[in-house]
Amino acid sequence: MRRLPALASLALVVAAFVTRAAQSLGYDELFTLWVASMPLSDLIHQANVDGFTPPLFYALVKLLLIVGLVNEDLRVLPALFGGLAAYSGLRAAGHLFGPAARWLALSVICGSAYLFTFAQELRPYSALLACGFYFLGRLGGPASEKSDIRAALAALVATSLSYLGLTLVVVWVLECGRRRSPSQLALVCLASLGLCAAGLEKAVGLAAAGVQSRIVWLQALPSLSATFFGLAPTPYDVRTEVASLILLAGLMAAVWRARAVPSLAFLARAFVICAVSVIALDVVVPIGFAPRYLALPMAALLLLIVGTLPHLGRAGSVIALLFLGANGFAVYRYLTVEPPAREDWRGAMARLDERLGSKGVLIAFPFHHTAVAAHAYAPRLTLAGGYTSRTGPVFWYEPPAAFAGYDFSGLTPLSDPNEALRRLSAATDVCVLSDEPDTSKTASVFGVFQSLGGTEPFSTGDPRLRALCRPKG
């Protein structure tokens, strides 16, 4: 029994690492790799300018680059954090609900498709889950100064890896406000604000700019089924979402019935605070309801499931097995279903690199997506393209262009991007690539390109990465 958390964690790390190359790096992962490839001072600057992820996670990826790991092999970092999350989750379940709860946690937490998929994503979300499980396990048990201090440290570590970790600080302050001294509360609050200063500045800036042009994929309704079962590429289905909502409501009702159990009441409060925080943030800055932003609510939810199932008797054991089976099927789909959950930038860049070589030009819309993909998979490609910022202007990158992050101070907004496209396309062996989710924008760009004549569709191997090519002359 004592070795169970370690063995289960090791099994998850091995499974995540062995299948690490099943999918290409996605855009967010490629951006992580691009930032981590910079000198340390530039890395810190870029992370602060970007304002969405603190420098620490990028620095950890940089250490792996220094020892020689590249591209998909870098996923060993989230895999290790995923193993740590499984270990922390099992220990938290045992601490909150007794040693016997670890067997249920084995199915619910270690078998979670949500945890597995983020153990394969080169972003800080598996680390955030690890911090979340540890935090909830410490703070949800018998109150003591030692547990409170450890929970505070976990919240600060989470904030140093992802600005979403600030939610844990909020939970800590609300739970410990009456039993910790004002100086301790102030110290934790000031430390957390210092850690996420860049993120707060970014959020305030976007809110002040009155962002209206939400990216299309962020307009999707929140997917509870995606949260329960990970990133399996299933189409949005109202029936599935209603069933997931009923399951969630049933779980919260069961928690209400068992509210005399202090640990369950605490987890319910933590779940509500973390979930409402994501919704509140989306009101100010349109981040959307992508499953990754729900990592901390998910940590509380999984522990709630573990703590609630024993109160259902034999039905609880059956539900745990069904949960494990459903998540196992979700992981299978995630690894095998075509097209894969992540866009196949690896295959697309290889094909375009073979088509254009070092002499042709790849015009990309939006530019920054293709730029970081080419950095990882096709560095010899000559790039140009356009980028529509979230506040409106269209910026043009003249070839040979290099991505400089979300800083447009050295670029001039274009009044007519189509003219630049015509000028370049008329004299160059060129392809146009778009992964813009707004189909009307892609149609407009492709229409200008096709008006030059001689264009033909080019298969990138992924229907979400659409391309046209035109030979010189």
The sign of the torsion formed by the CA atoms of 272, 273, 274, 276 equals positive
Burial of 248-261, coded b for 16+ CB within 10 Å and e otherwise, reads beebbebbeebeeb
| Other beta carbons within 10 Å of 382 | 18
Average pLDDT over residues 56-76: 95
Q: Quick: pLDDT tens for 148-191.
A: 999 999 999 999 999 899 999 999 999 998 888 889 899 999 99
In this structure, which amino acid lies at residue 225? S
Average confidence (pLDDT) over 326-337: 83
Residue 127 has pLDDT above 80, yes or no: yes
- What pLDDT, in 10s, does the model give residues 212-221? 444 433 445 5
367-376, 407-416, 436-445: which has the highest mean pLDDT?
367-376
Per residue in 357-410, pLDDT (tens digit) is: 888 889 888 888 999 999 999 999 988 888 765 545 577 777 887 787 776 666
pLDDT digits (tens, 9 = 90+) for 259-297: 678 898 899 899 989 988 888 777 666 666 677 888 999
Show the CA angle centred on residue 286, arms to residues 230 and 442, nearest 5°: 85
